[in-house]
Structure 1
């Protein structure tokens, strides 16, 4: 059975490697193949495991096909969906949090323009200047602008596209101001009522953490607190998951055991006595899962708990491997898109580490009292998970906390016995005894304050985190490998040292060789990030970088430097920009300036619209020689930067290849550049002003004759950029066109042999979950 379950899981993983989801008739052919395999398997037993693999592939692809069929089933033209206002009716699915200035929520759309949908679908809606009283569970009517869900595609950064798919969101949009917007049927969920009551009544310095631990709402946790949690490797504490559910389930189990012990034995049937603690445990676990909004981590933990109790009730003895595989396959059957969620693999890895640790170091618990065993268990779990999962954390998140073991070994047991159970009891008792609940919340807040003080102290160490690199990953991998080998006595200390010493020496030599090669290489890279309607370009050579524009920043605090550019830097082992050039002051080009200054990410600037330290303004005629490249400033002639035509125009050349970065100039400035004879033919051109109708004049394109043109534009943007007439001009020139809204991040490689390029969606991650 284990083999079939494992092959089902492998088949499900293999389904993710296709570039696109095949049509339904291909899946029907696959189902027919499974049926044939099942028939022949009676004759040829070796074919039977293949059936499990086919089922895994077919199930995931069928789920994906159903997910993507929302438009066809409802006769919706996806290409024109964003062009018109839509009057929708739907049910609010997510908790309504935030201020009246702006809220974001998921809604199940039931009808569009008073036409009932055959297949209701989920959309992510932004509501600015909220003028109606919204709650989770309400049936609402809203006038919205809607478009297919889309995420930015950049190397090293968070995949919003994958997050949308994981949450079954197929569209996104925003509410337009209208008298038609109203709540048709008020039916707030118990969770929403609890949230509103807690949010308005709790007066605490760490209210955001209390709401995160009680109702799973992490939206109010501010950046400084998140930074401390990430630096100390304790952010998992604020995401209700298997740890929290296990604690609550154990609390329910123990409580019922205590009740049974207190009650007279004649009142209870001895035959079913063992069932009561399990039932109470499941009631507590399900209640906590509901309060957390049945998030995927809680569903995973709940499924594992159900299998564990179910097998015990059936008196079925199964191996740990079978229990884990049954749980894993059940999770995929219930929630197919959980398969590409990194937290799924982290959770199961953590369970395996815990089981291995208890098996290998079980002698630590001999001849100990009950409370000593509990304390030793919690300490062992935290040390083992922190050390064994450190390489996985570094690989997935590009940074790893060195102080995580010190943080978790203290904070997790402390909160497990104090804040977490206290917050749950307070949350459940609040509707009945609000005064008692608020008193309990104060105790929980005090416990959280002690934890945060300790974490703040740990986060203050200079080298509390390590950034991703191959060398760092290998060294960190050696820690759990060494512990594993030593714990099983597979190798003695002498031979372990003999093996590790040459490994460390070779790593040092490889690192030195890599740096020498990096400084001596002749090629250079240019990366145009996918930042929606905006621009951010990175030029790399010899392990150094220049940034041209930063993309936008928004009132919510989101900015593309932090979300996209900095993760890319960490992935490529760079810490600062040698130079940052900001074309002009528009937010979509210079929105990340404040973040750059705050985090000291730039050595020098070329900015016309601000007085900055180490700033050399962009003036026509100025030359910058950098790493063998020449950056020639072509415009403006005066130090201005307030308007599109004030954009700093840069020509980058290595003597063989030329790139033109024109910012947002219009055809007026293009004509001025032609008259000044300061430009020449180029290999790569970033389409001026994102491909607007006011730029990319025919005479300008005839002169520069680009081989490649890149449009840095937003997905289905309101200005329809690049406009068809501009696209037609580039096509007439025979230029190869690339659009970040379709291809994602675009990267050019310039060598003596020529120019090559790759895109995120076609080359770096060409699989359907990222399309």
Structure 2
């Protein structure tokens, strides 16, 4: 499940009572999702990089009395001086010393196979060994500048061996170029777009979005962002996705972007999660592995209840009639594992 956490990223993947969590800016929506799924064990807490909108709730989650976090995966980053990152490392060190947590600081392609649990496969597609060894750099490094976003771990979730969701964190254009140079297979039916649909670091954001969409070939693109932060997703990002995939892709935001609707109105919410209120668009998105393949909800028709009353929904730009209610068939039947 890609959770509606406002501006940030959090994905909760569970098989029965056992789960994997990727990023946690705010623990409350995650705790709600875990309670409703009867999941109280997190085998792996994976933090893609050290930005607050990906890690700020991690320390509280690890210290929560009703949740067991068995292992933490995080990469070193000496450029991050935030209180949240230092608190996270302090809590992690304390719990490791008391035998309550295993801390791993090697979140890179070398971790492949170490993160799988039951029917959930977790593939680390980036950073590679060289970049992981170097870490974020300045412009004077022989490898050139590598930002924290460029080092963001790219995680692909597989359900019963089938690619399901690509979680690129805040991957930037240089990190994406490094993945393409290494000929990484990034394909997945669901893409949570990097950096919440903001600037990619590329000279041409539209071309970056088109190239990423072409590499991943998603049927659903999710923008996880908060209505009160920035103006994401950027229009040129949406245009790039449409350039690559046309009307064959569904686009959904967790919350209503101010770029789509400036005014505050009593809008119909597609999904009633903790942060919905009048701000949710698709809300939290549940991805399911069924006999029919990888499917998701909310269904396009349910999502359209919100989109239909927006002033200028970007997800329908360049589409003459918008996505039809039947453009995506979603079912919860025959569920075997959830993201």
CA–CA distance in 1 between the matches of 2:122 and 2:173? 22
- Greater Rg over alpha carbons, structure: 1
* In the alignment, structure 1 residue 721 sits paired with structure 2 residue 232: yes
Post-superposition shift, 1:750?
1.5
Aligned partner of residue 211 in structure 2, secondary structure: helix
CA–CA distance in 2 between the matches of 1:570 and 1:753? 27
More helix by share: 1
Post-superposition shift, 1:703?
1.9
Post-superposition shift, 1:591?
0.2
1:693–1:725 Cα contact (<8 Å) kept: no
Which residue does 1:207 correspond to in 2?
A: none
CA–CA distance in 2 between the matches of 1:763 and 1:625? 33
For structure 2, the residue ranges without an aligned partner over 5 or more in a row are 77-88, 97-101, 137-146, 256-280, 311-339
1:722-741 aligned within 5 A: 722-732=233-243, 733=245, 734-741=248-255
Point out which structure has higher relative CO (alpha carbons under 8 A, 6+ apart): 2
Structure-2 change in CA distance of 1:763 and 1:565 (3 Å): farther
CA–CA distance in 1 between the matches of 2:57 and 2:290? 31
2:166–2:186 Cα contact (<8 Å) kept: no
Which residue does 1:686 correspond to in 2?
A: 192
Post-superposition shift, 1:763?
5.1
Which residue does 2:210 correspond to in 1?
A: 698
Post-superposition shift, 1:676?
0.5
Structure-2 change in CA distance of 1:592 and 1:689 (3 Å): same
1:572-583 aligned within 5 A: 572-583=37-48
CA–CA distance in 2 between the matches of 1:567 and 1:703? 34
Aligned partner of residue 632 in structure 1, secondary structure: strand
Post-superposition shift, 1:762?
7.0
Which residue does 2:118 correspond to in 1?
A: 627
* In the alignment, structure 1 residue 646 sits paired with structure 2 residue 151: yes
Post-superposition shift, 1:759?
3.0
* In the alignment, structure 1 residue 756 sits paired with structure 2 residue 264: no
Which residue does 1:594 correspond to in 2?
A: 59
Post-superposition shift, 1:698?
2.4
Structure-2 change in CA distance of 1:636 and 1:565 (3 Å): same
Which residue does 2:103 correspond to in 1?
A: 615
Q: Deviations over 1:704-726 (max 9, x none)?
A: 211111100111532x1110011
CA–CA distance in 2 between the matches of 1:677 and 1:697? 18
Which residue does 2:34 correspond to in 1?
A: 569
1:27-46 aligned within 5 A: none
Post-superposition shift, 1:567?
1.9
Q: Deviations over 1:392-441 (max 9, x none)?
A: xxxxxxxxxxxxxxxxxxxxxxxxxxxxxxxxxxxxxxxxxxxxxxxxxx
Post-superposition shift, 1:627?
1.1
CA–CA distance in 2 between the matches of 1:760 and 1:702? 24
Post-superposition shift, 1:662?
0.4
Q: Deviations over 1:486-534 (max 9, x none)?
A: xxxxxxxxxxxxxxxxxxxxxxxxxxxxxxxxxxxxxxxxx11111110
Which residue does 2:262 correspond to in 1?
A: none
Q: Deviations over 1:219-250 (max 9, x none)?
A: xxxxxxxxxxxxxxxxxxxxxxxxxxxxxxxx
CA–CA distance in 2 between the matches of 1:684 and 1:657? 9
Aligned partner of residue 578 in structure 1, secondary structure: strand
Aligned partner of residue 657 in structure 1, secondary structure: strand
1:621–1:632 Cα contact (<8 Å) kept: no
Count of residues in Structure 1 that have an aligned counterpart in Structure 2: 231
1:657–1:750 Cα contact (<8 Å) kept: no
CA–CA distance in 1 between the matches of 2:282 and 2:13? 19
CA–CA distance in 2 between the matches of 1:761 and 1:675? 36
CA–CA distance in 1 between the matches of 2:45 and 2:301? 29
What is the RMSD of the two structures over their aligned residues, measured on CA atoms? 2.6
